């Protein structure tokens, strides 16, 4: 019996107000795979990623995690995903360190949090309330989760927004390391990634989208 893939997406589609957002999509992701989700603006990249977090309910099709429909093992599955959306989820009235501790597993050591922030170029900003940080720095706080999380599947929606060149290079390095450790990454971005073996998936807007 062949091993079931880590993540299998079977003809997933999503309708909103009777308009299909994208055409049914199928693919599977193995441990160590990185998948880049491409598509024009508004083609449903974010929707696809949010369907994979099960924050949205698909109109048809299913997602299987290790062979099991994620609806049947929702909490186990969600233990294994890390999702970074458009909004960084950073609380302005908490410091960078407090935010990262909040977003990291409870058992994360305090040193790990400080060093993750330092790796993301936030050394010296640990105790600064986030309202005095820039948008790029907010994103860096959120991205520091990649270093503290133990989730196997990363779902990253435009992770490089507002991040400078060195930051991008560092993140690509993190992603490569995660893949080497048997993780899997789904990332939506318009940039070309400096990572080997990137598989690309195009999200096509449905024919009838907006059509009358």
Partner 1 sequence: MSNAHNAGFTGYLQRDLLLAYRRRGEAASPLIFFLLVATLVPLGVSPEAGRLEPLAPGIIWVMALLATLLSTEGLFASDYQDGSLEQMIIAPQLLAMPVLGKVTAHWLVTGLPLTLVSPIIGIMLSLPSDGFIPMMASLALGTGCLSLVGAVGAALTVSLRKGGLLLSLLVVPLYMPVIIFGSATVQAGIDGLNWFAPLAILGAMLATAVALCPLAIAGALRLVSSN
Partner 2 sequence: MGSGRDWTWFHRLGSPRWFYETTGRWLPLLWAVTLALLVVGLVWGLLYAPQDAKQGNSFRIIYLHVPVSFLALAGYYIMAIAGAVGLIWKMKLSYMVMKSAAPLGAALTFLALFTGAVWGKPTWGTYWVWDARITSMLILLFLYLGVLALQYAFHSQDTGNKASAMLALVGTVNIPIIYKSVDWWYTLHQPATIKLTSAPSMHPDMFKPLLVMILAMYCFYALVLILNTRVEILQRERKTGWVRDLARQADTGPDNQ
Contacts with partner 2, 60-99, as mask; x by CB under 8 A: xxxx-----x-x----------------------------
Considering CB distances under 5 to 8 angstroms, the limit depending on partner class, which of partner 1, partner 2, none binds residue 208?
partner 2
- CA 133, CA 129: separation in Å to the nearest integer? 7
Cβ 172 vs Cβ 202: under 8 Å: no
Residue 207 found at the interface with partner 2 (CB under 8 A): no
What value does the CA radius of gyration of the chain take, rounded to a whole number of Å? 18
Cβ 2 vs Cβ 66: under 8 Å: no
Map the footprint of partner 1 across residues 21-60, applying CB under 8 A. Answer: 50, 53-57
Count of positions (residues) in the chain: 212
| Biggest distance spanned by C-alpha atoms of the chain | 57
Cβ 153 vs Cβ 169: under 8 Å: no
Map the footprint of partner 1 across residues 181-200, applying CB under 8 A. Answer: none
Residue 113 found at the interface with partner 1 (CB under 8 A): no
- Give me the least distance between CB of 207 and partner 1, in Å please: 23
Segment near partner 2 (CB under 8 A); pick from 14-22, 91-99, 122-130, 173-181: 14-22
Map the footprint of partner 1 across residues 136-175, applying CB under 8 A. Answer: 149-151
């Amino acid at each position: 019996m062949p091993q079931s893939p880590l993540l299998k997406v079977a003809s997933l589609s999503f309708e909103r107000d009777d308009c299909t957002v994208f055409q049914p999509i199928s693919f599977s992701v193995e441990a160590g795979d990185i998948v880049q989700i491409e598509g024009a603006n508004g083609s449903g990249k974010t929707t696809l990623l949010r369907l994979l977090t099960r924050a949205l309910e698909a109109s048809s099709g299913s997602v299987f995690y290790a062979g099991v429909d994620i609806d049947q093992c929702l909490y186990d599955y969600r233990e294994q995903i890390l999702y970074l959306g458009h909004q960084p989820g950073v609380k302005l009235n908490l410091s960078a360190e407090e935010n990262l501790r909040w977003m990291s597993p409870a058992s994360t050591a305090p040193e790990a949090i400080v060093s993750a922030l330092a790796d993301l170029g936030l050394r010296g900003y640990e105790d600064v309330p986030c309202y005095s940080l820039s948008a790029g720095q907010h994103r860096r706080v959120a991205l520091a989760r990649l270093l503290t999380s133990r989730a196997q599947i990363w779902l990253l929606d435009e992770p490089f927004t507002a991040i400078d060149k060195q930051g991008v290079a560092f993140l690509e390095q993190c992603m490569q390391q995660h893949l080497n450790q048997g993780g899997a990454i789904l990332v939506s971005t318009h940039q070309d990634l400096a990572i080997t073996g990137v598989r690309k998936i195009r999200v096509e807007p449905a024919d009838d989208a907006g059509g009358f």
